[in-house]
Structure 1
Amino acid sequence: MEGPGLQTPPDDAAAARYSFLFPIGYSNSSECGYCRRTRSGFSYYAIATSLTPAFYQKLVDRCWRRSGTLLYRPNQRHSCCPHYTLRLDSTQFRPTKDQRQAVNRFNHHILGDTYAREAARLHPRTRAEARRRHNVFDLLERVHESEAGVLKGPPPAPDHAFTVTLEPDTFTEEKYAIFENYQRLVHREPPDKISRHGFKRFLCNSPLERGSLAGPDGRERRLGSFHQCYRIDGQLVAIGVLDLLPDCVSAVYFLYHESIHWLNPGKLGALREIALAREEGYRWWYPGYYVHNCAKMRYKIEYKPQYVLDPEDLNWYLLDKEALALFDKGHYVCLSRKGVTEGATAPESTSHPPSPEAPLSTPPQHSSNSDDEDQDEEEDEETSFLLTSSMPGIPTLAEMEALDMDGLVLRSDFAEGFVLASHLVVWESESVGQVGTLKSRVAELIAAVGPDLMGEVCIDFRKRVGA
Structure 2
Amino acid sequence: MSTSIVHYYGAQQSKCGYCGGTKCSMSHGMHAYLLACQDYQDLIDRGWRRCGDYCYKMRNKETCCTAYTIKSNALKFKLSKSQKRVLRRVNRFLRDGKREFKLDAGEGDGEDDACDASGAPEVTVSEPQPQLPDKRPAVINVDQIASLARAQKKPTKLVAAPTSEAPSVEAPTLGSNKSAAPISNKPCKKAKQMRLERRQAKLGDTASTTTKSLSQEKSLRDFLTSDSETNKHQLKIVLVASSDTQRTCADAVVALYRKYQVTIHNDNPACITLSSMQRFLVKTPLKNEKSLGAPEMGYGSFHQQYWLDDKLIAVGVIDILPSCVSSVYFFYDPDYSFLSLGTYGSLREIDLVQSLAENVPELKYYYMGFYIHSCPKMRYKGKLSASYLLCPETYDWLPLTDAIRSKLDEHKYQRLNADANARDVNEFLMEHLDDVRLLLGVNNFTYYKNYNQLSDSENEMIIEYSKLVGKVCARRMLYVNIV
> Would you call these one fold, judging by a TM-score over 0.5?
yes
TM norm structure 1: 0.71
- Counterpart in 1 of 2:266? 188
| Runs (5+) with no aligned partner, structure 1 | 1-15, 115-127, 340-391
Assess, with a 3 A threshold, how the Cα gap between structure 1 residues 416 and 303 changes in structure 2: closer, same or farther.
closer
- Counterpart in 2 of 1:106? 90
- 2:303 aligned to which of 227, 230, 238: 227
Tell me the distance in 2 between the aligned counterparts of 1:79 and 1:228. Answer: 33
- 2:405 aligned to which of 321, 324, 327: 324
Quick check: 2:15–2:21 contact (8 Å CA) kept in 1? yes
- Counterpart in 1 of 2:437? 409
Alignment of 1:319-358 (within 5 A): 319-337=400-418
Instruction: Say whether residues 1:238 and 2:314 are aligned partners.
Output: yes
Q: What letter is aligned with 1:404?
A: L
- Counterpart in 1 of 2:183? none
Alignment of 1:58-77 (within 5 A): 58-77=42-61
| Matched position secondary structure for 1:25 | strand
Alignment of 1:262-277 (within 5 A): 262-277=338-353
Assess, with a 3 A threshold, how the Cα gap between structure 1 residues 425 and 404 changes in structure 2: closer, same or farther.
closer
Assess, with a 3 A threshold, how the Cα gap between structure 1 residues 198 and 133 changes in structure 2: closer, same or farther.
farther
CA deviation string 1:105-141 (max 9, x = no partner): 1111112289xxxxxxxxxxxxx9xx97994112113
Alignment of 1:122-271 (within 5 A): 135-145=216-226, 151-152=228-229, 157-169=230-242, 170=245, 171-215=249-293, 220=296, 222-271=298-347
Tell me the distance in 2 between the aligned counterparts of 1:17 and 1:249. Answer: 20
- 2:472 aligned to which of 441, 444, 452: 452
Tell me the distance in 1 between the aligned counterparts of 2:78 and 2:472. Answer: 36
CA deviation string 1:335-384 (max 9, x = no partner): 11389xxxxxxxxxxxxxxxxxxxxxxxxxxxxxxxxxxxxxxxxxxxxx
Assess, with a 3 A threshold, how the Cα gap between structure 1 residues 326 and 193 changes in structure 2: closer, same or farther.
farther
| Runs (5+) with no aligned partner, structure 2 | 99-208, 358-362
Tell me the distance in 1 between the aligned counterparts of 2:40 and 2:380. Answer: 25
Q: What letter is aligned with 1:418?
A: F
CA deviation string 1:406-430 (max 9, x = no partner): x4333344x5543444454514xx4
| Matched position secondary structure for 1:240 | strand
* Cα distance, 1:449 vs structure 2: 0.5
- Counterpart in 1 of 2:4? 19
Quick check: 2:26–2:64 contact (8 Å CA) kept in 1? no
Quick check: 1:19–1:52 contact (8 Å CA) kept in 2? yes
* Cα distance, 1:197 vs structure 2: 2.1
Tell me the distance in 2 between the aligned counterparts of 1:69 and 1:420. Answer: 25
* Cα distance, 1:202 vs structure 2: 1.2
TM norm structure 2: 0.69
CA deviation string 1:43-79 (max 9, x = no partner): 1111001111111011111011111111111111111
Structure whose CA Rg is larger: 2
Quick check: 2:14–2:26 contact (8 Å CA) kept in 1? no
* Cα distance, 1:393 vs structure 2: 10
- Counterpart in 1 of 2:184? none
CA deviation string 1:149-174 (max 9, x = no partner): xx35xxxx521121001101232222
Alignment of 1:370-381 (within 5 A): none
Quick check: 2:433–2:448 contact (8 Å CA) kept in 1? no
Count of residue pairs brought into register by the alignment? 358
* Cα distance, 1:220 vs structure 2: 4.3
* Cα distance, 1:291 vs structure 2: 0.6
Quick check: 1:221–1:246 contact (8 Å CA) kept in 2? no
